[in-house]
Structure 1
């Protein structure tokens, strides 16, 4: 039997990799090492879920004075200080990264602050020049945001860059219609930025329930976001020059030196200091300049330059590492979890996959992750919480009944606001099982968690009906809808 430096070597210090490493070491007694080339905590903690949610919280305060006045409070408008918020956010992320490092250390995991790639099926080569061997290698390198393949795309920023803006822009153009694009549109709008959003499709949040995403789009527009559907970028260029609304930069402007000007623009737009803008011409032809252009047009797995192809590990069409139900690649000693496999790209899923990997490899309990009926939330304003099938997907499979209600919630209606919420259940007509639940409302993410438990257990509509409502709440509508709105 070959002797290795470690039982397990993990490449990637995000949520999935850290969980797998420390559980393998602490619970299974394995000798474990982990390499991370950037910051511990990965996308979720450092440049995703956590800082984004902090920005969501910050942006929601802007609407509180108006609502408070409806309740009799004499409350004036406040001023948001980006530098104060950003400094506090950076400190919080440092604190969380420290927790991740300490968790690994206390579990007995040896860590390397270095990039790692596979040299062979049992050997990892570090950017420090060291090589380490392991019986099993786990790849948990996550993913990264991508820019579209268009000229001057480098003039725009991606989601990773948002948390490093030195100042808040006065205007921003967001390209994309997925949850990242829509969340940041709502965040910046709440922080007082003029927000324009382009999406080439017919409706934002493709893949989610049509009725729910339609309500969110309507609310975004009512809140002041300039949402343009069926719209994409034709051309973009450094701002501040002489432009023709149809043809773009003039010959004089182009003669200023594209390379130098683009370099200066890139720095200016990424700090958002207003000293330079980005000129954008959309398919609608209404060209203008924006302080910042944010591309939220997709993410790719971090599978490049890991030495995978040389070992015969398959890379899929979307650059994902191809794995089986137990997260194993085509090489028996190499596994992969999380966003780099492009299965369900959510932090809790990566953590669950990491736990299943440890059970499979180190605890003699082969465990496949169930990727069905995963609850999720979109932190737009209002939020969406969703689990299971959309009405559209469900009715393609079988005949369903749709129970749905939309209303003005008590809190905001009393305060003189017109916000609407949506509660929706999609039910199998044959089995009576609830196939999907979709909520658009403040704190929908909190509500959908418990709905997800019931639906995962196979609850029927009658199980929901027999549950006593909590009154007065928005969520009571989930268990009080007695008559289907339609059969589809």
Structure 2
């Protein structure tokens, strides 16, 4: 494409930006990607990957205890935080290099400096150089929200800092009730930290199925996590080596750390988007159409910076669809419905499709099939933990509208259930499928007790 330095300039080398760059380059486009920090983005560097590694680490305390019921001894077991952090860093560095190799192998140019939008076809680099591109893709993700108005907010950490603490605190207060808050509550609690979760709403995980939320709350409390719903942190003050936290009900208590996990905000500050004519929505996310195109025809955006469905696989799919549409001669629009997802809480959640609450609002007859049981493993371990499985069904067509699981390997099950739900599977299809025994997943095809509404 003559007249421009690049066919595509991507700002941000996270999951969505890297996928778009690679696919566009494979379609023959001349591509550059600018990244001011490290290649891999939130997910790889300070999000889902290190978080899942920490989740694995936090499981071992219970695993050692459970092993006793199977004839093992668990004496002289010890945990070293510094070793976990160092090993995590080594894995992140490996992934960072892999992302760089993949970009270079695809033929994209990597520019390791900050880039901002200088116009519909112009990008300014921190070094002072200015380049032109027929298309610009903004894939800068989002950043943790920290309430700057809160007295003592500078004493708090976010998920970014939680991965690199010098030492584990004896007690931590986590503010928030979403994915990140409940996942880190399980991590810290599993690693022996006294954990208090403070959430503003009546229940954790707003937007998830009610039974799922209630079940996880009960199980988290069994593990010793204190959940203070309908509460907010109103102040933080230094106290000795730690902090003193004040809640809106006047309660005060000490902690080694306070962590805020109260949402993420799109990374648009200082990018020059509005000066270039790019419209933002009230939440300061880039407004895009179904093809990820902004209000400026030559500027697109994918991933968390658009605040649509803020999940890594969604950003990857959006980036791929953009490249195929703009450079591959295809017409690809991402379907943001029926997105399977997992919450790596303890126990884990896997879910796809409609909640019972949403289904009852949209369908005249809804059938509910659910069960709660003790996983087979705990018949010998003796652990007081139960698993929940639930199917939401259209009572008139028999189509499965939603599947919700809380228990071991729920995320793995949700991936496969997502295929069935997207294909329009009926409850009778589940019933006709033979069970794999003995597994927890077999409950999904043997559910018969029905609640109708």
Where on the TM-score scale, by shorter chain, does this alignment land: which range? over 0.9
Aligned 8 A contact 1:413 1:419 in 2: no
Aligned counterpart for 1:298 among listed residues 257, 263, 281? 263
Quick one: structure 1 residues 77 and 298, their matched pair in 2 at CA, closer, same or farther if it must change by over 3 Å? Answer: farther
SS in 1 for 2:377: helix
Residues 340-387 of structure 1, C-alpha deviation per residue, up to 9 Å, x if partnerless?
000000000000001100111011212110000000000011000000
Aligned 8 A contact 1:65 1:77 in 2: no
Q: Give aligned pairs, total.
A: 451
67-76 or 28-37, which deviates more: 67-76
Residues 1:420 and 2:386 aligned together = yes
TM-score computed with the length of structure 1 as normaliser:
0.91
The 5 Å alignment of 1:48-447 reads 48-76=47-75, 78-148=77-147, 149-240=149-240, 276-398=241-363, 399-447=365-413
226-235 or 450-459, which deviates more: 226-235
SS in 2 for 1:137: strand
Residues 68-105 of structure 1, C-alpha deviation per residue, up to 9 Å, x if partnerless?
11112122262110011111110100000000011111
Residues 1:35 and 2:1 aligned together = no
CA distance in 2, matches of 1:79, 1:171: 19
Deviation at 1:283, TM superposition (A): 2.5
Residues 236-289 of structure 1, C-alpha deviation per residue, up to 9 Å, x if partnerless?
21112xxxxxxxxxxxxxxxxxxxxxxxxxxxxxxxxxxx21111113333121
1:25 matched residue in structure 2? 25
SS in 2 for 1:70: helix
Structure 2: 5+ residue runs without aligned partners? none
CA distance in 2, matches of 1:348, 1:232: 32
Deviation at 1:218, TM superposition (A): 0.5
Higher Cα Rg: structure 1 or 2? 1
Residues 1:454 and 2:420 aligned together = yes
Structure 1: 5+ residue runs without aligned partners? 241-275
1:273 matched residue in structure 2? none
Q: What's the Cα RMSD here?
A: 1.0
1:270 matched residue in structure 2? none
Deviation at 1:292, TM superposition (A): 0.3
The list of structure 1 runs, each at least 4 consecutive aligned residues, that deviate by more than 3 angstroms after superposition, is none
TM-score computed with the length of structure 2 as normaliser:
0.98
SS in 2 for 1:402: strand
Aligned 8 A contact 2:151 2:234 in 1: no
